[in-house]
Structure formats: C-alpha cells, structure tokens
Structure 1
Amino acid sequence: MKVLHLGFEDPRMPGAGGGSVRTHETNRRLAASGFTITVLTTRYPGWRERVQDSVHYVPIGFGQGNNRLTRLLGYVIRLPFEVRKRRASADLVVEDFFAPFSSMAAPLWAQRPTLAVVQWLHARDKARQYKLPLHWVERFGVRSHRRAIAVSQGISDRLTALNPGIHVDVIGNGVDPKAWTPEPTLGQDILCLGRLEFTGKGLDLLLQAWGRCCRKIDGKLLIAGTGPDEAILRAAIEDAGLSDSVSLLGWLSGDAKFQALSAARLVVCPSRQETFGLVAIEALATGTPVIAFDIPCLREIVPEGTGWLVDAFDVDALARALEDRYSHPGLADVGAQGRAFAAGYNWDRLAALQGAAFRAAVAGPALTQSRPVTGGSGSPTPHVVT
C-alpha cells in the first residue's frame, strides 16, 4: 500500500512533540512490513528532504520556516498543491490533525480514500486564545471525515460528539523499548518533561504549587524540554524566587531522556490538556511514579496504583501531592506497577493495528462494534475499535 501522510511536524525539528514521534515510530514499522510512505511536514531551520528508516520525509512551505507562523502558513498554503501532485500514486491519504484548527478537511479535496489520525483536538482553547472561530473550522474538518484513528478514548468521545457518523479506531501511542534499559532508582529530584508551553502544559500551575511545597522537599524541580514559552518560563521562575530550586535541562531525547525519567523520584504532568500523555507512560515504563491532574487522556494513562491523580488545576492539591508522595514509603512498589502497566504499550503491536486500520480505510465501509483488547503481557492497552 502507498500512503501519503500529511504529518505536519517533522520528528527532527527541535522541540517537536509526541505526535511526530508517533508518526515516525508507526510509519517506520509499516515501511518495514511493505508499506510505501511519504510524509509531508512543515519546514523548519535546517530542514531537508530525506528518507529516514525507509520513510520519505518532504518538508513543504516557503523559505526556512524560521517561526511558528511562517511554518503554519507555508504548510497550509502549499499542502493542497503538494497533495494534488502526489495523489495519483497514493492508495490512501492520512491527515494528522494539528494546531490551531485541527483539520484542513482533506477528504473534500484529496480525491483519495482518506483517514484522520487525531492526536490533537483543542481548537476551542485556541479560539479563546486568539479570539478567532477556530473551533468552527475544527468542527467542519471533523465532519468531513468518515474514518479516524484517535490516540485515546477521550479524543474518540469528542470526535463522535462532533460527528456521530464517524468510525473511530482507538490506538494509543507506544513506548520506546529503550525506556526499559535504565535500572529504576529512587532519585532525589522531581522531573517535568515536555514542550515548554507555559499555560497549555500547566507550567504556571506547577510553579505556583512548587513555591508552596519546595521548602519541604529535599530535591529540586527539574524541567526538561524546549518550546515557544521558554523565555516566559525563565522569567516566571526568577520572578517567583525559585531560581535556586528549579533547573531547566533543555531538550532531552533518546537514552538521556530515559535516564532522566528513571533517575527522578517522581514525574509531574501538570498539563491543562493532553491528547495521550506520552511522557506519563514513558515515566511509568522507567519505573517512576507519576503525579498528574485528573483530566481525560491522563486519566487513562495513570491508573490507580501507578501514580496519583489530583483535582484538575487545583494548585494546593498539587502542592500537597508533591509533598506527600515525595516521602511515600511504597514508591518502589508503585514504580513496579507502573512498569507492568506500560508494558502493554508496544510500538510493534500498535503499528500493526494502525496498518489494519489503513487497509480497512482503503477496502471499504464495513464497520463493526468496539471491543477492549489487552497486550500480550496481559497489561491493559488502549481500547481499540475494530
């Protein structure tokens, strides 16, 4: 099967999010099994067309894509023309949803069987931020699709609310096998890892909570990642008088990322919204318990016994959880349960499920009901609509 994947974000772009990780980890496995896959992404400084792990990446747009606005505009303007050039040789067009309005309604102009991969569905929040009706664009785009893959049940529920006739396969993200390489340790510091988006990722709430509990905790708060709000974050740390107890580690990937996750005493995920929670499941895989706000998607990733959920956006509750759980006597046992749970999120198996969804999208409209599945280890994995 030949797949034209509208992937938006290149995994090699500095600061790229978990969506690009899923795109590559899934596509490279499908390519190894015989799929031919071309991914159209935005341009960014240092971009180049390439074949990586048998997946063809083609950055599109204008110029070097030096900032978010030029990357977005270049991609949006060029995408229909680039698809038109390539669609004759494609069996399937796959549209990744992306910020700020999710979908460009690809089924209406791709003129090929089309499938949505939905890792992002937050246009209403962006509409409030930018004072633009972006959520109406999202609604229109969702209603143009007949089939979709969602990375969580929470995203699936929102898709079907917008488009009751859509068929959704719920296929979560996987965990890099390297996450199991470091030996779990009971570290001293608390780690927050991810894209540096000050409000979306809840870094403002985390700093408020940390300011209320840091004097009762022996370790420091480590924040790893890069992103558009790094300068805002640095200023907020200084303004709050937290420079001595908060350290920024920069971008971590591969072995360095998993070593940092394993070496942390706790991993905190203070996001206001998530589409899956890749950092949380990676932390569990390294044997480190997670503290997160009780929101959809993270609720699926941090079940009871693997970490702790606190009332959404409650700064006092987050501060109490960080203080209380830091000295929890059973942290090692909680970490072991998290590792067992994370074992169900296997990239090979999830890629096979996505390949089956691709073939079903090309074959025709035969649809059946949903059923839960479990991984080969017996650990829970996402519910999958088959």
Structure 2
Amino acid sequence: MGRETSVAVAYDCLFPYSTGGGERQYRAQADELGRKGFDVEYLTAAQWDGPAPTEERFRIVELTGRLSLYSDGGVRRIPAALRYAGALFGALARRRRRYTAVIVSGLPIFNVFAARLALLGSGTRVVVDYLEVWHRRQWVEYSGTVTGTIAWLLQRAAVAVTPLATCHSQLTAARLRREGLRRPPVVSPGLINAAVDVPPPSSAAAPPYVLYVGRHIPDKRVEVLPAAVAVARESVPDLRLVILGTGPSSATIRAEVERVGGEDWTRFPGFVSETELSDLLHGAVCLANPSRREGYGLVVVEANAHGTPVVLVEHEGNASTELIDPGVNGIVSPTTRPDDLARAIRDVIDGGDDLRRTSRAWYDAAVETRTIRRTVEGVLSALPLPTPATVKTKEESP
C-alpha cells in the first residue's frame, strides 16, 4: 500500500498484553482502521517474551523492550516515559514519509513532542489523542510540587503544539480549551467496541454482590467501598463485595475490609480472564467505581452491556459521570461517604430487573452511535483523510 493508506497508532501499551481503558481504546482504533483497509502499524513497547505477536488487522512494531511504567505508588515513571518517547522519535524520524497520519497518545506527554519533532515538515498528519487533561493541582497531587508543576507546564506546551486533538468527554474538551488548544478538539461520540458479543440481561446473581473492576491506585479510591457495603448490608444482609485487580493501594483496601469486619463477605480474585470478567459483570447487582479521575469510563459501558447498573461518585475530574442517566443505567453518589455510597447501592438494588433492563436498553441505544467506528470516522473526516477504498477508486479512474 502507498503512503496515503498507511497509518500508525503510538502508545506504550497494547491490550490484552496490558490492561486498561487506554489499551483497549487504541487497540480498537487500530483494529477499526485495519478493517477500513488502512495499512496500520501499532508502535509500542514489548509486553511479552519473545517475538512480537501477530495481529489480524495491524502490525505490531516493538520500539523498546519491556518497560517498568509505574512506581510502587502507582505513578507513571519518568525514565520509562522518556525511553519510550525517545524510541518513538527515532522510529518516526526513520519513517517520516511512510505514514499519511499518526495517532499518538497524549499520555505520557513526552509522546507529543517526540511525534511533532520527528515528523516536522514531512507532510504526515499528527493527531494527539488526550485520554485526560489535568489542571495544575492534579499534577501536583500526583507527582509532587516541583515535578507536578513541570508536568503541567509541559502539558500546556504540548497542547499548544497540537495540530489536531481528539478526546472522549466534554470535561476533557473544556480543559483542552482552557490549556490553550488553538483548534476545537474532535470529541468522540464514544468508545464502544460494537464487535463484542454480550448475552441478554438477566437477574443479578444470588447472593447479590457489588463489583469493582480496575487497578488499585489512590485516584480510584477503592478503599471507600468496604465501609459503604457494610452500611448497605444493614438492609441487604447477604450483600457481598468482589474487588478485581491489584495495585499499590491493595494493602490499604484489605486493611479497610478488616476494619469493617468484611473478611467473610469480600473476595479479592485479582486479575481474571476475559471470560470470568464477563461472568462477574453479568451477575453483579451493580458495578461500583468511586474514582475521582476518569477520562471516559469504558467500564460503565461494559457493565451496562450486561444489564448491570453502575454506581459512580461525583467529582470534577470524573468524566465517566457524563455516561450516566440517573435511574436509567446507574446512580451518581454525591460523595464517597459510606452513607451516600450505601444509599446509591441500595437504590440500584431496589431498581431490580427493571433497572437492569433499562441499563441494557441504554447500551443498545449507545451501541448505534457511541462506537469506536464512529470515533475513527470522525478523526478521518477532521484530518481530512480519504479511506483506502476512495484512494483505490481514484487510482483506477482513467
């Protein structure tokens, strides 16, 4: 294929070899671009032993060996981010006239500078996808006063040199504009992977359980769930709590389970297979995610696909609340206080099968419009970039 149909996606992680919302999103975008006929390369770091795996719709290009991305405290490590950005710069400099467009993640922020410098003057279109945009206070809380302030200034500089930005919530779009983005961002309609088959909704499992899915880091605030479930158990005595994942906050979470006497009704399966995750999502009485920081909230959509309502917590950095239609597919608690969260959990339990049906109906409506396919089409239109079928027709014309 020629340059007009060659596209790269650049991110240091790749699902399923690494797990997370960003990993799922960028893989799905690469799949969709390949499905549309583009020649796609996924520029990433090794997350496997041996040769890079083979994928059906895109090629994996291994830029670096395995990276230690996070510190013991769950913070992105600067050396790993710099190593990947340096490798990305080198790879794009060598391929500067290979691609018609490069979609690069804006996190870590060094990726933006690497892509812009390597492709300067090449004619390759650069799209920066912002999973999140933080204000200064968030950066300082995450990395400390000095490092956080520097990171915030680098973020502002990256936003200033971004030719085309994409994001996935109105929260992030507003923050991009505040940070100095010169051109309105392309706000995606959603990140649903419509190719995933999900069973029809059914009643919650018995005994009922609240489910958490994700990493254990301070921003997720998983440690507030045991006390909330303990309060909810006063009116729902057989209620259980299942906490998936692990991370630097795991010890704090387990200590909180012990503090509220929840050892008998709490399980910690760790990370599970996709099949087991699907089964747990399908049977949960609700998915609870008390996070204060979400750029989109793909797990909300995944839960609703199973007919499982979601309990979230209101916070200025939590864009996933944009996905909730209260009383239809979930509830947004005003705070993480045990009484507030317990009330939200009891509300979804009281909603019963009717709430499960409306949660699935919300998903069925969203899957028609809020998909990865629509997001990719929006990016292609904004560039603008012809599809391979259009290029082929043009080439075949006399």
TM-score category by the smaller chain? 0.7 to 0.9
2:309 corresponds to 1:271? no
- How far, CA to CA, are the matches of 2:135 and 2:114 in structure 1? 14
Equivalent AA in structure 1 for residue 265 of structure 2: S
- How far, CA to CA, are the matches of 1:224 and 1:215 in structure 2? 24
**SS of equivalent to 1:345:** helix
**Match for residue 130 of structure 1 among 143, 150, 157:** 143
Taking a change above 3 Å as real, the CA distance of residues 229 and 48 of structure 1, as seen in their structure-2 partners, is: farther
**Match for residue 106 of structure 2 among 80, 84, 97:** 97
Alignment of 1:19-168 (within 5 A): 19-44=22-47, 46=49, 48-61=51-64, 63-66=65-68, 68=70, 69=77, 71-99=80-108, 103-104=112-113, 106-111=115-120, 112-122=124-134, 124=136, 125-131=138-144, 132=147, 133=149, 134-168=151-185
**Match for residue 14 of structure 2 among 6, 10, 13:** 10
Offset at residue 221 of structure 1 (A): 0.5
Equivalent AA in structure 2 for residue 184 of structure 1: S
2:353 corresponds to 1:332? yes
Taking a change above 3 Å as real, the CA distance of residues 277 and 349 of structure 1, as seen in their structure-2 partners, is: closer
Equivalent AA in structure 2 for residue 223 of structure 1: I
Q: Which residue of 2 aligns with 1:200?
A: 219
Q: Which residue of 2 aligns with 1:370?
A: none
Q: Which residue of 2 aligns with 1:213?
A: 232
- How far, CA to CA, are the matches of 1:156 and 1:162 in structure 2? 10
* Larger deviation, residues 36-45 vs 165-174: 36-45
- How far, CA to CA, are the matches of 1:233 and 1:318 in structure 2? 16
Offset at residue 324 of structure 1 (A): 4.4
Q: Which residue of 1 aligns with 2:391?
A: none
- How far, CA to CA, are the matches of 1:173 and 1:363 in structure 2? 20
Taking a change above 3 Å as real, the CA distance of residues 99 and 237 of structure 1, as seen in their structure-2 partners, is: farther
- How far, CA to CA, are the matches of 2:115 and 2:63 in structure 1? 16
Q: How many residues align?
A: 360
Contact kept, 8 Å, 2:129 with 2:166, in 1: the verdict is yes
2:212 corresponds to 1:190? no
Aligned-pair identity in percent equals 22
- How far, CA to CA, are the matches of 1:179 and 1:312 in structure 2? 34
- How far, CA to CA, are the matches of 2:322 and 2:50 in structure 1? 35
Alignment of 1:241-256 (within 5 A): 241-256=261-276
**SS of equivalent to 1:57:** strand
Q: What do the CA deviations read for 1:235-286 (whole angstroms, capped 9, x no partner)? A: 4434554222211122235332222111011111111111111111111111
* Larger deviation, residues 237-246 vs 28-37: 237-246
Q: Which residue of 1 aligns with 2:367?
A: 345
The TM-score with structure 1 as length reference comes to 0.83
2:289 corresponds to 1:280? no
Q: What do the CA deviations read for 1:180-229 (whole angstroms, capped 9, x no partner)? A: 32542222333333322332112122234234334543121001224454
Offset at residue 294 of structure 1 (A): 2.4
Taking a change above 3 Å as real, the CA distance of residues 159 and 190 of structure 1, as seen in their structure-2 partners, is: farther
Offset at residue 348 of structure 1 (A): 9.3
- How far, CA to CA, are the matches of 1:256 and 1:179 in structure 2? 15
Offset at residue 32 of structure 1 (A): 1.7
Computing the radius of gyration over CA atoms, which structure comes out larger, 1 or 2? 2
**SS of equivalent to 1:273:** coil
Contact kept, 8 Å, 2:348 with 2:355, in 1: the verdict is no
- How far, CA to CA, are the matches of 1:207 and 1:99 in structure 2? 32
Offset at residue 99 of structure 1 (A): 4.5
Q: Which residue of 2 aligns with 1:368?
A: none
Taking a change above 3 Å as real, the CA distance of residues 31 and 222 of structure 1, as seen in their structure-2 partners, is: same
The TM-score with structure 2 as length reference comes to 0.81
Taking a change above 3 Å as real, the CA distance of residues 71 and 207 of structure 1, as seen in their structure-2 partners, is: farther
- How far, CA to CA, are the matches of 1:27 and 1:71 in structure 2? 23
Offset at residue 307 of structure 1 (A): 1.4
Contact kept, 8 Å, 1:123 with 1:138, in 2: the verdict is no
**SS of equivalent to 1:339:** helix
- How far, CA to CA, are the matches of 1:91 and 1:210 in structure 2? 52
Offset at residue 30 of structure 1 (A): 1.6
- How far, CA to CA, are the matches of 1:145 and 1:122 in structure 2? 16
Q: Which residue of 2 aligns with 1:313?
A: 336
Structure 1 residues without counterparts, runs of 5 or longer? 365-386
Q: Which residue of 2 aligns with 1:223?
A: 243
